[in-house]
Amino acid sequence: MLEEVVISTSEFLILGDFNFHIDDKNDIHTKQFLDIIELFNCKQLVTQATHVYGHILDLVIVRDDLEDSFLNDLCVVDHAISDRSVINFCLNLTKPPRRKKVIVIDFKSYV
């Protein structure tokens, strides 16, 4: 998937529950994962624990060179509703211009 996404010049965002301890640098799976995203010039932005047991399981990944251009104010907030924290961030995206479409119906041809 990363091979397809990184060749694009547009922003992309990968996020979700990756279900392994990204903060455990001694874990072989964590090391492999971090090596892969670095190889594809990506960056994992969550640095605080997102799980009640103190691990980072939920990730936000962007292209390293576009991080500051469209995503900011990332923070992890514990709402004590779940065993997971909430990840809040702002996306600086512009709404595309509204497209106008004119439809002309010739009612004479229906008579």
Domains detected in the chain = 1-91 (3.60.10.10)
pLDDT band at 66 (very low <50, low <70, confident <90, very high): low
Q: Name residues whose C-beta falls within 8 Å of residue 73's C-beta, 6 or more positions apart in sequence.
A: 88, 89, 90
Token output for 36: 């892969």
pLDDT band at 76 (very low <50, low <70, confident <90, very high): very high
- Average pLDDT value for the chain: 85
Q: Is the pLDDT of residue 28 over 90?
A: yes
Residue 109: predicted pLDDT: 67
pLDDT band at 103 (very low <50, low <70, confident <90, very high): confident
Residue 46: predicted pLDDT: 93
For residue 104, count CB atoms less than 10 angstroms from its CB and return exposed for 0-12, middle for 13-18, buried for 19 or more.
Answer: exposed
Q: 41: closest CA among 5, 90, 80?
A: 5
Q: Name residues whose C-beta falls within 8 Å of residue 18's C-beta, 6 or more positions apart in sequence.
A: 33, 57, 58, 59
